[in-house]
Amino acid sequence: MPSWRYLSPPPAWSRLDDYPEVMDCTDSESRPDAGPAGSHAADRLLAQKERLLERWVERLRQEIPAAADERHPILVDTIPLFLRYLAEALSPHHPRSNANEGSTLAEEHGGERVRVTRYRLEDVIREYQLLREVLFDVLGESGPLTESERHIITMSIDKSILDACTAFSLVHNGLREQFMLTLTHDLRGPLNAARLGAGMILRRPEAPHVRQWAARLVDNIERMDRMIQDLLDVSRMRAGSRMSLAIAGCELVGIVQTVVDQLRFTYGERFQVIAPEPIHGYWSEEALTRAVENLATNAVKYGESERPITLTVRQTHERAALMVHNHGSYIPPEEQETLFQVFRRSHLSERGHQRGWGLGLALVRGVAEAHGGSIGVDSLPERGTTFTLDIPRDARPFQHCPTTG
């Protein structure tokens, strides 16, 4: 068994700015076809690390749609540390035989790809394949890699793919189980209320409150129907299909006011509607109703309970905008884009133990884009949070435009 000690100065494979101390082996064995000291691939890798990362990120944005608009820190993720471990494995005297030996780095990478990006499993595989191509291209510029070096790189990438994909699947399945538990819980609420109302009507058909019980029964059934419809629409969007809209002439302020009137029965007089004038257009009244309801209930969940929720409806330049504002619930910039992704919820909602599917804002984005518009968020600690739904007054010309899904 070789003995171990810290060397000073550290060997070539440890020269990364953030990792000044690395252990080396005292015996002098090296890999059979390693070049002379200072000429092996570990030195090239460390010298070209930033260029490798830059070229790899560029390839990601070109070839993986989910990476095209992703922020740089999210894309690079654990890869800089992976390159450090790979340099260690390529060093003739280091005990690490591949970049994954003794490390869970690839598993963490796969798990993060599920939780904070829109990657698919095949995207995880492809990004490691691209990394291998970039490594061979860049490291080969200074001379051919040895058979042993190519084997170490290939083995490290293959093992990373296996570990990352395993973790991706495990985390994805865990999120799906969590979603099903939440879905079951949320559907049971209106289902139990509907069953209770139906039972009261059956037991007391002549009671004076039968009409009220029947109205509540219908409301709860419609609530369940909207939940199921939201789930179906989001599933279609994830499959790449755009939301199907029944476009007709309707009036936006009336839609907003109707939703607010219904929500007041549950949440009280928390809502203020500001609308200088009626706004007529060609939209899907049913889809906009669901979008407004999702934005308003989202404001109820995460806004300060003692302060009002304001819904402002305006028109300008042949466009209509709905702004839903609540005080509190500051959303950091790094979380704002992921709010509109399916099954994604902010850290605030997780810390506050707010139940939810992570579908509502994804559905709102689908409604906005299906109308040829967009949904945005503005959030500052001192001003609160405002979601803005911005759509053309006539959505008919945009029914064949692509959506982000």
In tens, the pLDDT along 169-217 reads 888 777 666 666 556 656 766 777 778 788 888 888 888 888 888 887 8
391 is written with which tokens?
Answer: 């759509």
Distance CA 128, CA 60 (A): 10
- pLDDT of 153 > 60? The answer is yes
- pLDDT of 30 > 80? The answer is no
Stretch 35-40: mean pLDDT: 46
Distance CA 347, CA 369 (A): 26
pLDDT tens-digit series, residues 342-388 = 545 444 444 444 444 456 687 888 888 889 888 888 888 888 888 99
Contact 78, 55 (CB under 8 A): no
Contact 195, 168 (CB under 8 A): no
Query: In degrees to the nearest 10, what's the CA dihedral of 147, 150, 152, 154?
Result: -130
Distance CA 26, CA 377 (A): 58
For the ranges 3-12, 145-154, 312-321, 363-372, the lowest mean pLDDT is seen at: 3-12
In Å, how far from its chain's centre is CA 190? 28
Q: Which residue has the tokens 């494979």?
A: 13
Contact 121, 112 (CB under 8 A): no
Question: What pTM was computed for the model?
Answer: 0.49
- Confidence class of residue 13 from pLDDT cuts 50, 70 and 90? very low
231 is written with which tokens?
Answer: 């789930």
pLDDT of residue 181: 58
Q: What is the sign, positive or negative, of the torsion defined by CA atoms of 273, 277, 283, 286?
A: positive
85 is written with which tokens?
Answer: 């471990």
- Confidence class of residue 236 from pLDDT cuts 50, 70 and 90? low
pLDDT of residue 48: 93
Stretch 241-263: mean pLDDT: 88
Query: For the chain, what is the radius of gyration of the CA atoms?
Result: 28
Point out which residues pair with 326 in neighbouring strands: 385
Distance CA 146, CA 365 (A): 51
pLDDT of residue 346: 46
Distance CA 37, CA 43 (A): 9
For the ranges 142-156, 268-282, 350-364, the lowest mean pLDDT is seen at: 350-364
pLDDT of residue 353: 45
Q: 69 or 344, which is more confident?
A: 69
Distance CA 75, CA 71 (A): 6
- pLDDT of 229 > 60? The answer is yes
Contact 33, 147 (CB under 8 A): yes
Residues 6+ apart with CB under 8 A from 212: none
Residue % of the chain over a pLDDT of 70: 75
pLDDT of residue 180: 64
237 is written with which tokens?
Answer: 């969007």
Q: What are phi and psi of 404, to 5 degrees?
A: -75, -20
Kind and range of the H or E run holding 252: helix 252-267
pLDDT of residue 39: 42
pLDDT of residue 232: 65
